Amino acid sequence: MFSWRTTLSAHLFNNSPRLSLPALPSELIFTLLTYGFALFNLARLNVVALGTYERERGISDAERKTKDEKLGFAVTLFCKASGLFEHVTTTVLSGAEQTPGWQTGRSRPPELSNEVSLALSKCVVPSLSLIVSARGSLITAVAFLDGWIDLPLPRRNRSRSAN
């Protein structure tokens, strides 16, 4: 038995009830999701701490460069979080459904449903592109997005509009 609080479920008084869950995969899923939340929060804190430095006029080149690097670090954290949520959806959850005695006849917390973890991975991506387009450092953004996310734009189209 493993016991976790479901932070994502709607409950009276927002008290996130503590559930006892059988089976090892549920422990694995909750651990991975918690790691993902931690990564996302860390990335957000990083971005908020940087502020809107690119709109400031009196900022030295060296300072700007270090802040750019910090922003890049935050972007990799976002990418990690998104990839993690997707991994939970595609690999871990589908594997877990094949284990015997998986969540039969009990109320399932939202963390263990396929749709919610997929939705989480989708929620992370816009905050990534929000930073990116607000910052105007578009070239790095496109490079990052290339590796991680399938943008619906065909490749030649993208290079034309990125001029």
Partner 1 sequence: MTKSLYDSVVTPGPPLPASHPSPALLAKLHLEAAALCASAESLMRIPASRKNDMEVTESLLLFARDTAALHGALARKWLGAEKGAQDAHGMAVGFLGWAKRDLDALRDSGTRKGGKEEGRDERRDRRGHIAAEAEDVAQFLRYYKRMNDTVRALVVCRV
Residue ranges binding partner 1 (CB under 8 A): 6-11, 14, 48, 54-57, 61, 64, 105-110, 113, 115-116, 118-120, 122-123, 125-127, 129-130, 132-133, 136-138, 151-153, 158, 161-163
Cβ atoms of 46 and 70 closer than 8 Å: yes
Q: Which is nearer to partner 1, 64 or 95 (CB)?
A: 64
| Residue 158 Cβ vs partner 1, minimum distance, rounded to whole Å | 7
Burial of 40 (0-12, 13-18, 19+ CB in 10 A): buried
Type of residue found at 124: V
| Residue 9 Cβ vs partner 1, minimum distance, rounded to whole Å | 4
| Residue 14 Cβ vs partner 1, minimum distance, rounded to whole Å | 7
| Residue 44 Cβ vs partner 1, minimum distance, rounded to whole Å | 9
Q: Which is nearer to partner 1, 39 or 47 (CB)?
A: 47
* Cα-based torsion angle of the residue sequence 56, 59, 61, 65 in order, rounded to the nearest 10 degrees: -60
Q: Name 56's Cβ contacts closer than 8 Å, sequence gap at least 6.
A: none
Q: Which is nearer to partner 1, 91 or 159 (CB)?
A: 159
Which helix (H) or strand (E) is 73 found in, with range?
helix 61-87
